[in-house]
A and B are shown apart, each in its own frame.
Chain A
Amino acid sequence: MLGPNGAGKTTSIGLMLGLRQPTAGQARLFGLPPTDRRARSRCGVMLQESGTTSVLTVREIVDVFRAYYPAPLPGERAIAMAGLGAQAGARVGTLSGGQRQRLYFALAICGDPDVLFLDEPTVGMDVEARRAFVTSVQTLAAGGKTIVFTSHYLREAEELARRIIVIDRGRVIADASPQELKGAVPGKKITLVTARPLAREALAGLPARVLDVTGERASLLSNEPAAVLRELFRRGVDVVDLEVTGADLEEAFLALTRREEAGA
């Protein structure tokens, strides 16, 4: 679930978990109300802005959470999957922000849940923690787990998700695979390097949106890259290097939210 701050991602997760009550409609987990203990026993949860008591050790708090679930993972395994093996005996209060985030991941997976809800899981993680997290998520997904996560890092969604739901201000803007999402928006990015510094006017009137012009470099978004290039060559722009790529999710996302605004 992808969207900017304030899009409604955390609210959506809260509704799915029964932490919030919908004003209309209903949420169901495994066909049960989300507050049902049988449904909760199959969920692992990582929330933003939640805490744990700080005087217990990592191993102790993981063991407490394991007792909530009918068939938990071995504690050491959950801790290792979260990349906290070296801190298993440390008190929660002594962990760094990134380690704490890993602990919440360990608490989310220790019940061996069928579905994981992760709200902004990588916020505060350092590069190494993030890499360990990505590996664990991929392992879990390969093992048949469903993982619902929110992010405003588009790369992260692109890297991890099979289905991306883009939301903004409480509304679904797109619901598609990363590939489909790319195909659905003005899809190509043209990056140019010219022999001489390029004036913005030289790019006026092209069937493209100019993203950036800096000295000899320019980048444009377009649905018709061939027409753009033909026109550039006709105008005698001295291109020395050229790259045409599929627009990444960040650009696709910007295009989607702007279209919404234009339509509203």
Chain B
Amino acid sequence: MSADARGATTAAGPARRAVAPLGRMLLTQARSEIRTRWRIPAFSVTIVALPVLFFTFFGLPYVKQTLPNGTNLGAYLVASFAAYSVGSVMVFGFGIGVSTERGLKVDVLMRATPLPPLIAILAKIINALAYALLSLVVLIVYAVIVGGVRQDLVVWADMVARLLAGSVPFIALGFAIGYTCGPNVAPAAANLVYLPLSFASGLFLPLSQLPGFVRAVAPYLPAYHYGQLAWSAVGAATEPMPVALAWLAGYTALFLAIAFRAYRREESRKFG
């Protein structure tokens, strides 16, 4: 297109759009995020393999047992590791992803493009949801085929939907880690925060088998309330859903506040 031709169309009317369509931007951005992550096996393989491995070690031996309330322990443990899995995609994906991008200064160039920051964040969320879904499907299929855990398809679908929709506090936690930690520190920080958190919330072993002080602390942790979303899908929740959701909303606000403060601090340092 020559400059003359463009001048003519601009003068004549809306022949040339002023901005690119947001939908196409979002789609392209999300696809490139997914593709980028796929090519980093340290992320893509880990995110899918770890929950299956943990379930194999901590879950498979007990799948035929039954909880006091009648729930099959196998289903309960799949729910636990499903919650662990989605949380880890969010915490590691956003935590390490954001800090790496800051380290490479990808964000500096992006800020100067017409890509709205909200679209960039939405694309990251779509990307994370896609990997969370992948990891859930692999875990559930593995538990059904190898572990012989039986639930209606509706129950599995309900669990997946609850976990994906309720993952917001872990996205916020990921952002908080990503903006407060540098690229070398973020992986360690994500592990140090998320693994003990999952353990103490009863996602690896049922709370009844954990020491008393852990049982006392668990009800104050976000992963405990997140686990309730998954356990409720198999009829094993130990608190009403509104309570769990209120806790999760509170933690979302806290993590977002931390992330936002770190983001602002860096912005004022980097862009004066």
Residues of A at the B interface (CB closer than 8 Å) are 11, 14, 17, 19-21, 37-38, 40-41, 43, 45, 47, 49-56, 60-61, 63-65, 67-71, 104, 107, 111-112, 117, 143-145
Q: How far is the CA of A52 from the CA of B113 in the complex (A)?
A: 13
- Give the residues in chain A near B27, CB-CB below 8 Å: 67
CB-defined contacts of A54 to chain B, threshold 8 Å: 104
Q: A51-B104, A51-B106, A60-B35 are in contact. Are A45 and B3 (CB under 8 A)?
A: no
The one of B24, B35, B40 in contact with A67, judged by C-beta atoms closer than 8 angstroms, is B24
Are A50 and B20 CB-contacts (below 8 A) given A20-B271, A64-B32, A145-B3? no
Which of these, B1, B19, B109, contacts A50 with CB under 8 Å?
B109
Give the nearest-CB partner of B27 in chain A: A67
Q: Which residues from A are CB-within-8-Å of B4?
A: 144
- When the two chains form their complex, are residues B20 and A49 in contact, meaning their CB atoms are under 8 A apart? no
Query: Would A37 and B2 count as touching, CB distance under 8 A?
Result: no
Q: What residue in chain B is nearest A19 (Cβ atoms)?
A: B271
Q: Is the CB of B36 within 8 A of A49?
A: no
Residue on B nearest A142 in the bound complex, by CB: B3
Known: A45-B112, A67-B29, A68-B114. 10 other contacts (CB 8 A): A41-B114, A45-B113, A47-B112, A52-B109, A56-B36, A67-B27, A68-B20, A70-B17, A71-B6, A111-B114
A143 touching B3, Cβ below 8 Å: yes
A68 contact set on B, CB distance < 8 A? 20, 25, 113-115
Nearest-CB distance from B171 to chain A (Å)?
Answer: 20
- Chain A, Cβ-Cβ closest to B111: A19
Partner of A52, one of B6, B18, B24, B106: B106
Q: B2 and A47: CB pair below 8 A?
A: no
Q: Which of A20, A40, A50, A56 contacts B105 (CB 8 A)?
A: A50
User: Which residue of chain B lies nearest to A104 when distances are taken between CB atoms in the complex?
Assistant: B109
Question: Are B19 and A37 touching (Cβ within 8 A)?
Answer: yes
Report if B61 contacts A (CB, 8 A): no
**A51 partner residues in chain B, CB cutoff 8 A:** 104-106, 108-109
Residues on A with beta carbons closer than 8 Å to the beta carbon of B35: 56, 60
Cβ contacts under 8 Å, B20 to chain A: 41, 67-70
B interface vs A, CB < 8 Å?
A: 1-4, 6, 16-20, 24-25, 27-29, 32, 35-36, 39-40, 101, 104-106, 108-109, 111-116, 271-272
Given contacts A107-B109, A112-B1, A144-B3, contact A37 B104 (CB under 8 A): no
Within the complex, what minimum Cβ distance (angstroms) separates B89 from chain A? 18
A14 close to B29 (CB less than 8 A): no
A70 CB contact (under 8 Å) in B18, B106, B108, B115: B18
Whole-angstrom CA separation of A11 from B270 in the bound complex: 11
Name the residue on A nearest B39 (C-beta).
A55
- Complex Cα–Cα for A41 and B19 (A): 6
Report the minimal beta-carbon distance from A65 to chain B, rounded to whole angstroms: 7
10 contacts between A and B (CB under 8 A): A19-B271, A37-B114, A38-B19, A41-B114, A67-B27, A70-B17, A70-B18, A70-B19, A117-B112, A144-B3
Describe A's contact surface by its main secondary structure.
loop
A21 near B2: Cβ-Cβ < 8 Å: no
Q: How far is the CA of A55 from the CA of B113 in the complex (A)?
A: 20
A40 CA to B40 CA, complexed, in Å: 31
- Partner of B40 from the list A55, A71, A145 (CB cut-off 8 Å) is A55
Known: A41-B18, A68-B114, A143-B2. A50 touches B29 (CB 8 A): no
Complex A-B, nearest 9 residue pairs according to Cβ-Cβ distance, in ascending order: A144-B3, A67-B28, A51-B104, A50-B109, A40-B114, A55-B39, A70-B17, A45-B112, A50-B108
Give the docked Cα–Cα distance between A81 and B227 (Å): 54
Interface centre among B1, B4, B114 (most CB of A within 10 A): B114
Residues of B near A112 (CB, < 8 A) are: 1
B residues in contact with A117, CB < 8 Å: 112
Q: Judging by beta carbons under 8 Å apart, are B272 and A55 in contact?
A: no
Complex contacts, B25 vs chain A, CB 8 Å:
67-68
Bound CA span A40–B91, Å: 32
Cα distance A55–B100 in the bound complex, in angstroms: 13
Do B104 and A64 have beta carbons less than 8 Å apart? no
Please give, as numbers and ranges, the residues of chain B lying within 8 Å of A70 by CB-CB distance: 16-20
* CA gap between A94 and B272 in the complex, in Å: 33
Chain B residues whose C-beta falls within 8 Å of the C-beta of A43 in the assembled complex? 112
Question: In the complex the two chains form, what is the Cα distance from A14 to B35 in whole Å?
Answer: 31
Which residues from chain B contact A69 at a C-beta distance below 8 Å? 20, 114
Q: Contacts of A60 on B, CB cut-off 8 Å?
A: 32, 35
* A-chain residues with CB within 8 Å of residue B112 when the two chains form the complex: 17, 19, 40, 43, 45, 47, 117
Chain A residues with CB under 8 Å of B36's CB are 53, 55-56
A52 to B100, CA, bound (A): 11
Nearest residue in B to A17 (C-beta to C-beta)? B112
B113's partner among A40, A71, A104, A144 (CB-CB below 8 A) is A40
Chain A residues near B2: list those with CB within 8 A.
Answer: 143
Most interface-central of A56, A65, A67, A112 (chain B CB within 10 A): A67
